[in-house]
Amino acid sequence: MATKVHMEALSPTMEEGQLVQWLRAEGDSVASGDVLAEIETDKATMELVARGDGVLRKIFVGPGGTAPVGAVIAVIAGKDEDISGIDSSGGGVVAAAAPPTALAAKAEAPEAPPVPRASATPPAPSAPKAPATPSAPAPAAAGNGGRVKASPLARRLAEDMGVDLARVQGSGPGGRVVKRDIEAAKVAGIAAPAAPAPAAVWVPNEAEYTDVPSSQMRKTIAKRLATSIGPVPTFYLTVDVDMTRVVAARASINAMLEKQGLKVSINDLVLKAVAGALRRHPECNAQWHDGFIRRFHAVHLGVAVAIGDGLITPVVKNAHAKGIAQLSAEVRELAGRAKERKLQPEEYTGSTFSVSNLGMLGIQEFTAIINPPEAGILAIGAMEERAVVVDGAVVVQPRMRITMSCDHRVIDGATGAVFLQTLQGMLEEPAAILL
């Protein structure tokens, strides 16, 4: 009996998915549990597995195509079974997304002759006036349409390292290119083709911009932020913290952890202090729901991580109960897998409060947008040496600005201010974190 392959909800907030690549081709035999394709969700790249046995008879959505959750994207059936009555369903299916192309500016005169359009990818062989180029080496392994079979991480590494993916021999399942192949190719000097030099003179009617399709993550970010900054009545509170003792505490802790090969950062100490302050002020460790406010006893801390095409917030569960070394190791591990888009749904959902740190990028102060239904988020600025007046004398101290965005339906001004006073006290006297 034929089995319909549906676009599955691979994350809690997923509404549609984009086909990264098929790992099986039409005509391949598959068994239940086999990985069929890689799907880009709003949070990560996930694997889609077969739910039946047979032959992959028909693929409705090609690489780059999108489909809503529930849509039929392929069919598994017996070799001679009639599947003529099965087609793509669910609405909004895009069979294959064309590569982003630069749109040529319109000519002032309508009768002006057309000019070739610039493209973000090399032009097809049939494109007019395309100069002849020598054939590139055949890819080591290709899926549908000649696409090189490679993991998402391998593709990103190839781009970052300047490696020509088409010339890399894959050692993964089915000849798939994986991380170790890219690293070996980098050592072997398999470089990507040099990009053409940009034109020195602007020519009328040449391409002036490029339209880049929104990823599933970027679409979700747009939707969620639209539900925050408008409907949520937000106000902001800022404190300027003396980080002198935090710097000293970090040096002391790292000296003790050195034999274990561990090290903590200033951000780790800030997160530990935030978790401790939230435990003392559950009215800020809260969420807004229609008809009630939910205050949490445990602190599940969301830590914003920037990735290639957006932002994701891994969650450190029970952050209040973890030591500084354990907290530091978990944040690093989650952030690393977040950048590889390998987090599981339970690892980026369920936060009760969030923290965003742009200090490492030199940002002195900023405001962050609340992630509903959470009631607050902290924006951590850069730690910098500044001259301040202490007891009538000008001294230089390491200072850090912290800004709290508050949902006024849950947190009043005085409530947020008292929470920040507690946090500031913990950072200016780190021993207080242990109380």
Domain-embedded: residue 143? no
Domain-embedded: residue 277? yes
Predicted confidence (pLDDT) at residue 193 exceeds the cutoff of 80: no
Euclidean distance between CA atoms 433 and 426, whole angstroms = 6
Give the pLDDT score at 208: 64
By the 8 A CB rule, do 76 and 55 touch? yes
Euclidean distance between CA atoms 240 and 398, whole angstroms = 10
- C-alpha 30: how far from its chain's center? 31
Considering only residues 326 and 45, tell me which one the structure prediction assigns the higher pLDDT: 326
Residues 89, 232: one domain?
A: no
Placement of tokens 């007046």 in the chain: 389
Please tell me the least confidently modeled range out of 10-24, 77-91, 409-423: 77-91
Predicted confidence (pLDDT) at residue 125 exceeds the cutoff of 90: no
Domain-embedded: residue 127? no
Please tell me the least confidently modeled range out of 113-127, 216-230, 396-410: 113-127
Domain boundary at 63, 97, 131, which? 97
Tens of pLDDT, residues 53-77: 999 999 999 998 888 998 999 999 9
Considering only residues 6 and 138, tell me which one the structure prediction assigns the higher pLDDT: 6
Considering only residues 275 and 184, tell me which one the structure prediction assigns the higher pLDDT: 275
Which one-letter DSSP state was computed for residue 51? S
The CATH number given to whatever domain includes residue 234 is 3.30.559.10
Please tell me the least confidently modeled range out of 95-109, 328-342, 358-372: 95-109
- The whole-number average pLDDT for the span 246-253 is 96
Considering only residues 84 and 245, tell me which one the structure prediction assigns the higher pLDDT: 245
Give the pLDDT score at 124: 43
Domain-embedded: residue 123? no
- The whole-number average pLDDT for the span 142-153 is 65
Domain-embedded: residue 79? yes
Domain-embedded: residue 156? no
Which pTM value belongs to this model? 0.58
Give the domain range for residue 34.
Answer: 1-97
Give the pLDDT score at 341: 86
**Maximum average pLDDT range among 120-124, 363-367, 370-374:** 363-367
By the 8 A CB rule, do 64 and 82 touch? no
Take residue 221 and report the two structure tokens written for it: 């970010």
Percentage of the chain beyond pLDDT 70 is 79
- Grade residue 82 by pLDDT with cuts at 50, 70 and 90: confident
Domain-embedded: residue 319? yes
Predicted confidence (pLDDT) at residue 203 exceeds the cutoff of 60: no
- Grade residue 94 by pLDDT with cuts at 50, 70 and 90: low
The CATH number given to whatever domain includes residue 45 is 2.40.50.100
Give the pLDDT score at 163: 83
Please tell me the least confidently modeled range out of 181-190, 366-375, 386-395: 181-190
- Grade residue 89 by pLDDT with cuts at 50, 70 and 90: low
Give the pLDDT score at 148: 76
Placement of tokens 């984009």 in the chain: 18
Predicted confidence (pLDDT) at residue 278 exceeds the cutoff of 50: yes
Give the pLDDT score at 135: 40
Domain boundary at 74, 97, 120, which? 97
Domain boundary at 42, 75, 97, which? 97
Residue whose C-alpha is closest to residue 155's, from 134, 172, 137: 172
The total number of structural domains that make up the chain:
2
Give the pLDDT score at 365: 96
Average per-residue pLDDT in the chain?
82
- Grade residue 204 by pLDDT with cuts at 50, 70 and 90: low
Considering only residues 32 and 186, tell me which one the structure prediction assigns the higher pLDDT: 32
Tens of pLDDT, residues 331-351: 999 999 998 888 999 999 999
Considering only residues 161 and 173, tell me which one the structure prediction assigns the higher pLDDT: 161
Percentage of the chain beyond pLDDT 90 is 50
Take residue 198 and report the two structure tokens written for it: 């940009």
Predicted confidence (pLDDT) at residue 132 exceeds the cutoff of 50: no
Catalytic residue among 281, 297, 300, 408: 408
Predicted confidence (pLDDT) at residue 364 exceeds the cutoff of 90: yes
Domain-embedded: residue 196? no
Give the pLDDT score at 170: 83
Active site residue 320: no
Give the pLDDT score at 416: 97
∠ Cα 119 125 126 (to 5°): 95
Give the pLDDT score at 414: 96
Burial (CB count <10 Å: 0-12, 13-18, 19+), residue 307: middle
Considering only residues 335 and 219, tell me which one the structure prediction assigns the higher pLDDT: 335
- Grade residue 214 by pLDDT with cuts at 50, 70 and 90: confident
Give the pLDDT score at 96: 53
- The whole-number average pLDDT for the span 161-166 is 82
Give the total residue count for the chain.
435
Euclidean distance between CA atoms 126 and 310, whole angstroms = 35
